[in-house]
A and B are shown apart, each in its own frame.
Chain A
Amino acid sequence: EAQVTQNPRYLITVTGKKLTVTCSQNMNHEYMSWYRQDPGLGLRQIYYSMNVEVTDKGDVPEGYKVSRKEKRNFPLILESPSPNQTSLYFCASSFWGQRGGTDTQYFGPGTRLTVL
Chain B
Amino acid sequence: GQNIDQPTEMTATEGAIVQINCTYQTSGFNGLFWYQQHAGEAPTFLSYNVLDGLEEKGRFSSFLSRSKGYSYLLLKELQMKDSASYLCAVSHAGAGSYQLTFGKGTKLSVIP
Contact = CB atoms under 8 A, between A and B. Distances in A.
Interface of A: 31, 33, 35, 40-45, 48, 50, 56, 58-59, 90, 97-102, 104-110
A60 B97 CA distance: 14
Interface string B83-99: 00001010111001111
A14 to B, nearest CB: 25
B42 A107 contact: yes
Contacts of A99: 30-31, 50
21 contacts: A33-B100, A43-B43, A43-B87, A43-B89, A45-B100, A48-B100, A50-B98, A56-B97, A90-B43, A97-B91, A99-B30, A99-B31, A100-B30, A101-B93, A101-B98, A102-B99, A102-B100, A104-B33, A105-B33, A106-B45, A107-B43
Q: Interface residue tally of chain B, by bracket? A: 20 to 34
Contacts of A42: 87, 102-105
Given A58-B99, A101-B91, A102-B98, A107 B104 contact: no
B8 to A, nearest CB: 9
B30 A45 contact: no
Contact of A105 (B45, B50, B92, B101): B45
